[in-house]
Amino acid sequence: MTYRLLALSIDGAVLRSNGRMAKETKEAIDFVRNKGVYVTLITNRTHHGAKKVAKLLKMEHEIISHGGAFIAGHVEKPIYEARMNPDLTYDVVEILERFSCQVQVENERFELANRHQQSKNLLGKMSVGLSESLFYPKTYVDNLTGHIFDHQIGALKIKGNFESREESKEAFEDLNHSIPGIKVRRKEQELEICREEASKENALAFLIRELGIQSEEVVMVGSKPDDIPSLKMTGLGVAMGQSPEEVKAEANWITRSNNQNGVPYMIKEVFRKQMKVDQP
């Protein structure tokens, strides 16, 4: 099989567990691009956060960000958006703000958050989760729903961090009961909301069609449970060595861990003998 597209998850594959990229990874990605293979990144990070990694790779290709809600090479020229419109964004935030909750609204250009008076414990948790704000503007407002209404802001993703698991569960149930067309993920005291169509696999399928290639011509490398559908839809689904067992079970091939140069090892094994192909 000749592979024409290599899709790489950023966290857990391209980056090591310390957040750095190995020299060997850069060299391996250059090697596969020189063979005419199109390389894209897939991530739950914001577009600006993903572009930081793409720049290290001197990559100008389209990248899939915001968990599959946005595909663009340059933020001004997206080719795919699964965005919640302003009314839907307003409705979701209005429910979240009924609770003791820090709300974050992700747009491709900026991030908004309510000026919530959190406990010290919640503040500590949020400071880790908000590292993405280093990459693009973040604004705190007193009336988040009012700001969304006045400026007609549509979100790619909305996050809520609650004071308690009980409140996160209640908000989860309220959102699912009250608002159609959204997808809500819950993990302990955190909720993540996006449009129903927003997923890594849907975005990857769109990019494959745009490039005019077949899914069998794609290698997908992932490490997390939300990578599983993308691994299953491609010609070669590769799980990183440190992946959970549920991810490994759905992969066609398991490479070394991200701290053991798993991506360079995979590229060497899979692409070493492949002849150069025309760019899709």
What integer pLDDT is reported at residue 60 of this predicted model?
Answer: 85
Q: Give the model confidence (pLDDT) of 165-205 as tens digits.
A: 999 999 999 999 999 999 999 999 999 999 999 999 999 99
Q: Is the full-model pTM beyond 0.75?
A: yes
Q: Do residues 194 and 82 make contact, with C-beta atoms less than 8 angstroms apart?
A: yes
Q: What is the dihedral of CA 237, 243, 248, 252, to 10 degrees?
A: 20
- Pairing assessment for the beta strands 253-254 and 236-239 based on DSSP bridges: parallel
Q: Can you give the pLDDT at residue 117?
A: 57
| Tokens 């946005």 sit on residue | 70
CATH 3.40.50.460 is the classification of domain 86-195: no
What is the residue type of 276?
K
Instruction: Give the chain's mean pLDDT.
Output: 91
Domain 5-81+199-271 CATH superfamily? HAD superfamily/HAD-like (3.40.50.1000)
Q: Is 149 exposed, middle or buried (0-12, 13-18, 19+ CB in 10 A)?
A: middle
The residue extents of the domains of the chain are 5-81+199-271, 86-195
What is the per-residue pLDDT for 61? 87
23 pLDDT higher than 60: yes
Q: What is the pLDDT of residues 120-164, one digit of tens each?
A: 444 434 333 334 444 467 889 999 999 999 999 999 999 999 999
Contact 68, 82 (CB under 8 A): yes
Confidence at 115, pLDDT banded by 50, 70, 90:
confident
